[in-house]
Amino acid sequence: MVDERAQLEVATLGECRIDSPLSALLRRQGTTQHYVDEADRVLLDDTVSLLAARGVPVAELPGFEPGGPRSKIYFDPSKTRVGIVTCGGLCPGLNDVIRALVLELTNHYGVRRIFGFRNGYQGLTARYARPVVDLDPEAVSGINEYGGTILGTSRGNQDPNEIVDCLEQLSVNVLFVIGGDGSMRGALRIAEVVAERGLRIAVVGVPKTIDNDIPYIERSFGFQTAFAKATEAIRAAHVEAKAFPNGIGLVQLMGRHSGFIACYAALANNDADYVLIPEVPFALDGPGGFLEHLRRRVVDRGHAMVVVAEGAGQEYLSAKGVDASGNVRLEDFGRYLRGRIAEHFAAAGVEANLKYIDPSYTIRSVPADPYDSVYCIRLAHAAVHAAMAGRTEMVVGRWRGRFVHVPISLAISSRNLVDPDGDLWLSVLEATGQPPVFA
Ligand SMILES: Nc1ncnc2c1ncn2[C@@H]1O[C@H](COP(=O)(O)OP(=O)(O)OP(=O)(O)O)[C@@H](O)[C@H]1O
Ligand SMILES: O=P(O)(O)OC[C@H]1O[C@](O)(CO)[C@@H](O)[C@@H]1O
């Protein structure tokens, strides 16, 4: 539980005095009930809910500010200039978010100037000549049908001072950053420079990652589409494994630090006999090790299906490099395991027909599925409402079934991991039948 109340307070640029243009729309629909009650909080855990039930005033309990439209807003839409940037790796739904931001800003708030910055934070720096595209409903028509991002993306660090220079020169009032944890760290640096310069620019994040590793958002957009796509690789590897004597299907899926894609894709097919993820250490060698267990299973049952997250078993790998953002680039465990399985079976004199599939980028470059599309649109709406109400240094999330405002510092303070003692991993153990520990 987060107990530091200050950590939960979302920064606001100033008092909201302007009537929201949404008021007219809601009045026409005969309701103003959709406005968010500012006193409401989305509580953080059950202990807190219990306290609330016992009469402790909700406003005094730690909880997130709810997302949604405010009756009064901070920015005058007719004078507001907005920028949108997508950063980091691709994720299904990026174009859905861009389109929904543009439509909400234009159709419901009446914002007339929206810039799309090209190629991630590069597009806000002078070195890359700041290529900017104008976005309006026509420009974003139909983009949600396609994977990728119409704005382009990039990795690699950029100077936040240069970025804020760019925002100032274009008189941008609101910057939407659609990206992962690195992008949100960048957004925080931008917001800090904005504050140091005494500027009134809202910086609002829409967190994205297929890895589902950002805390306080329940599930990140694109995750569902990505693991659904990954099931195709598992299905193919399983068919291959069953068709050959001592067939072994080995599928490596993305997930540098978190094994959610591997767990969900494996559960969806329900054909995996083993799932290896970064959060659960395992021994490869020795009588209780994975390789020995796999060989016995293949000999007993004729085939086996293994799903491995790329970040699993890093302790077995020696060569580690550093990518353009300064992150440690992990070696793919699947490729290593492929070699080790072949060696192990050969040494034991047992035939093995190993079929290795790494669907890699194919799972994240696809368009969002309808469920993710809906989620993207709703996240984008929440982000627009937050920004127009002057909220800053925050990301939109979904917590306990509600859209909430999460301070960026909190969203990057930890990583969502599969809990080895939790019910997701228990489901994986039940479905695969693999031992809880390879030791
Ligand atoms: N620690 C940091 N401080 C400031 N800016 C950062 C930091 N890390 C990354 N960035 C900025 O954010 C951009 C995207 O970061 P990164 O490449 O790590 O992807 P990401 O947003 O984490 O997405 P993914 O989940 O796909 O890795 C980088 O190009 C860089 O400009
Ligand atoms: O090859 P890239 O673009 O660095 O991206 C790879 C990484 O991006 C992710 O898809 C998302 O962070 C990881 O699962 C993966 O390791």
ipTM score: 0.97
- Ligand 2 centroid distance, CA of 408 (Å): 21
Q: Which residues line ligand 1 (CB under 6 A)?
A: 87-89, 120-121, 154-158, 179-183, 185-186, 189, 209, 325, 327
- In one-letter notation, the amino acid at residue 305 is M
- Ligand 2 centroid distance, CA of 188 (Å): 21
The angle at the Cα of 197, spanning 127 to 215, to the nearest 5 degrees, equals: 80
Q: What ligand 2 atom has the least distance to the C-alpha of 213? A: 12
For the CA of 87, the nearest ligand: 1
What's the pTM value of the predicted model, to 2 decimals? 0.93
123 within ligand 2 shell (Cβ under 6 A): no
List, for the chain, all residue ranges whose pLDDT scores fall below the cut of 70: 1-6, 30-33, 37-39, 46-52, 56-62, 318-331
For the CA of 361, the nearest ligand: 2
Residue 398 near residue 416, CB atoms below 8 Å: no
DSSP H stretches of helix in 157-197: 160-169, 181-196
State which of 211, 320, 322, 412 you would mutate to test the pocket of ligand 2, scoring each by most atoms of that ligand within 8 A of its C-beta.
Answer: 211
Residues annotated in a binding site:
89, 155-156, 180-183, 209-211, 254-256, 310, 361-364
How many CB atoms lie under 10 A from the CB of residue 177? 29
In degrees rounded to 5, what are phi and psi of residue 83?
A: -120, 145
Query: Is residue 211 annotated as part of the catalytic site, yes or no?
Result: yes
Residue having the nearest C-alpha atom to atom 6 of ligand 2: 89
Residue 295 near residue 315, CB atoms below 8 Å: no
Catalytic, out of 3, 40, 76, 211 = 211
Instruction: Report how far residue 343's alpha carbon sits from residue 341's, in angstroms, rounded to the nearest whole number.
Output: 5
State which of 210, 328, 361, 365 you would mutate to test the pocket of ligand 2, scoring each by most atoms of that ligand within 8 A of its C-beta.
Answer: 210
pLDDT at 127: 80
pLDDT at 368: 98
pLDDT at 1: 45
For the CA of 155, the nearest ligand: 1
Scan for tokens 């890359």, then name that residue.
128
- Ligand 1 centroid distance, CA of 18 (Å): 35
3-state secondary structure of 205: strand
Residues annotated in a binding site for substrate:
209-211, 254-256, 310, 361-364
pLDDT at 49: 67
- Ligand 1 centroid distance, CA of 220 (Å): 16
- In one-letter notation, the amino acid at residue 388 is M
- Ligand 1 centroid distance, CA of 10 (Å): 22
Q: What is the CB-side half-sphere exposure of residue 24 using CA atoms within 13 A? A: 6
**Cα 61 to chain centroid, rounded:** 28
At 246-292, the pLDDT tens digits run 999 999 999 989 999 999 999 999 999 999 999 999 999 999 999 99
Which residue from 367, 80, 324, 89 is spatially nearest to 204, judged by alpha carbons? 80
Which helix (H) or strand (E) covers residue 406, if one does? strand 402-407
The secondary structure of residue 259, as a DSSP letter, is -
The edge-to-edge listing of strands for the beta sheet with 402-407 is 42-43, 63-66, 402-407, 394-399, 202-207, 174-179, 81-86, 113-117, 132-134
Instruction: Report how far residue 387's alpha carbon sits from residue 389's, in angstroms, rounded to the nearest whole number.
Output: 5
Which residue from 290, 292, 322 is spatially nearest to 307, judged by alpha carbons? 290
Burial of 389 (0-12, 13-18, 19+ CB in 10 A): buried
Instruction: Report how far residue 367's alpha carbon sits from residue 303's, in angstroms, rounded to the nearest whole number.
Output: 34
The angle at the Cα of 430, spanning 427 to 435, to the nearest 5 degrees, equals: 115
Instruction: Report how far residue 150's alpha carbon sits from residue 144's, in angstroms, rounded to the nearest whole number.
Output: 10
- Ligand 2 centroid distance, CA of 14 (Å): 38
The contacts of residue 279 (CB under 8 Å, 6+ apart) are: 258, 259, 417, 418, 419, 420, 425
Residues annotated in a binding site for ATP:
89, 155-156, 180-183
Q: How far is CA 283 from CA 266, 316, 438, in A?
A: 21, 9, 5
Q: What ligand 1 atom has the least distance to the C-alpha of 89? A: 26
255 within ligand 2 shell (Cβ under 6 A): yes
Residue 206 near residue 395, CB atoms below 8 Å: yes
Instruction: Report how far residue 266's alpha carbon sits from residue 308's, in angstroms, rounded to the nearest whole number.
Output: 9
